[in-house]
């Protein structure tokens, strides 16, 4: 059985990266509805069911809380937090 890989679009912000897989996003909008800082909006690219996918239209407002990732019923979103400079300085 071969492993299935999905396309991933990555958007890098100041606090972290927002990753979305158009192959998994069905455009339900739950993430957009639950985002506390109104970062997400509908994109031009179409998802798995031919509906617009979600994109971080206001990425500078993203606090990388991960709520969008948690509420996505299809695991189409992955939030990656950036490590803080202080942690890197301690390790040196």
Rounded to two decimals, the pTM is 0.83
For residue 85, the enclosing domain spans 9-91
* Distance of alpha carbon 80 from alpha carbon 92, whole angstroms: 23
- Specify the CATH number for the domain of residue 42: 3.30.70.20
Domain membership flag for residue 83: yes
| Domain annotation covers residue 1 | no
pLDDT tens track for 62-76:
999 999 999 999 999
Q: Report how many domains make up the chain.
A: 1
Please determine, for residue 60, whether its predicted confidence score (pLDDT) is greater than 90. yes
Predicted confidence at residue 91, as pLDDT, reads 57
Q: Mean pLDDT over residues 12-17, rounded? A: 94
Residues with Cβ within 8 Å of residue 90, at least 6 apart in sequence: none
pLDDT at 38: 96
How far is Cα 56 from Cα 90, in angstroms, rounded to an integer? Answer: 32
């Amino acid at each position: 059985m071969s492993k299935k890989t999905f396309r991933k679009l990555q958007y890098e912000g100041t606090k972290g990266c927002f990753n979305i897989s158009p192959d998994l996003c069905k455009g339900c909008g739950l993430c957009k509805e639950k985002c506390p800082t109104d970062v997400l909006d509908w994109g031009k690219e179409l998802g798995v069911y031919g509906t617009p996918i979600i994109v971080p239209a206001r990425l500078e407002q993203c606090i990388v809380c991960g709520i969008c990732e948690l509420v996505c019923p299809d695991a189409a979103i992955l939030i990656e937090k950036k490590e803080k400079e202080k942690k890197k300085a301690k390790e040196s």
